[in-house]
Amino acid sequence: MNENTSKQCILIIDDDPIQLKALGHILFSLYDVRTAKDGEAGLRQAAKYNVDLILLDLVMQDMSGFEVLARLKASTNTRNIPVIFITGSISNEDEAKCLALGAVDYIRKPFTEVVVSLRVKIHLQLIAQMKAIENLSLTDGLTGISNRRGFDQMIKSSWAHAKRANESLSVLMLDIDKFKQFNDKHGHLNGDTCLKIVAGTIQATLERGSDHVYRWGGEEFAIILPCTPIDGAMLIAERVRENVASAPMQLGSGETVHVTISIGAGSIAPAHMDSDKLLVDFFANLDKALYRAKENGRNRVEMI
């Protein structure tokens, strides 16, 4: 197995050790290759690792490739991994069934090194292009941080994880104080500079790789803090507030100014909730906490 995780990852599922070794030999030098000798092992690896592409044998002793593909497609964690079937079957019906179940390609044995290499390369290039497009669609063009769409995707997965693991999930809602007056006084170009500096300051303050900031819209930002109770969320919120307040902003005129932010903080334990609908109520309460921070003098943190 290649441990270079910077390479795209290919999972080969085949119960024939000779074919497994042959495919691994073809792909090993270019990709992070992982192998599984049966369907169950392949399903476990597909769920565990960040797999970019699966090469799947059609006929295996423990379960058929059809069943493996059906189970991959049934799981939210693996349904989007492209699958190429590699098989000795010459049946057009088998090929049609593979494609109908969601496979992206079908390679017949005996295969050649050139065909396997080119087919894999083409599909991985398509995957890389799709990921690049997806990343652009989830990124705010001005600040470079994730946008509201990215937040919507992450909060759903974070909520589901917290529910399964019986952990707390905290969220911070942030708003730049008197941003309209800032724009009116200093102009929209300086307003854009302000947004970029605030976003960068927040991002630099977050120390854990699991914590992320998002541009919610306008001058509002949101931070998702997985596995974080309210005490921890309040500490991070105060640190973010202090760092933004002390961050100097040099305007186009050469003048240096500072801005402040108000924050609403909340924590929730989804495992103890009766309905995911309560996520909507949670955000309504976050908005109220942010509004209280504004009403109570700004440049402060209020919690639910």
| Catalytic machinery residues | 219
| Identity at 191, one-letter amino acid code | G
Question: From the CB of residue 81, how many other CB atoms can be counted at a distance below 10 Å?
Answer: 20
Peptide linkage before 226 cis (omega within 30 of 0): no
Percentage helix, strand, coil for the chain under 3-state DSSP, each rounded to 5: 50, 20, 30
Cα–Cα distance, 255 to 123 (Å, whole number): 52
Residue 65: half-sphere exposure toward Cβ, Cα within 13 Å: 26
Inter-helix orientation angle 179-186/188-205, to 10°? 130
DSSP reduced 3-state for 58 = coil
Helix runs in 49-111, H state only: 65-74, 92-101
Question: From the CB of residue 79, how many other CB atoms can be counted at a distance below 10 Å?
Answer: 11
7 sits in the region (left: phi over 0; alpha: psi -120 to 50; else beta) called: beta
Cα–Cα distance, 233 to 105 (Å, whole number): 47
Give the DSSP per-residue string, 256-297: EE---EEEEEEEE-GGG-S-TTHHHHHHHHHHHHHHHHHHTT
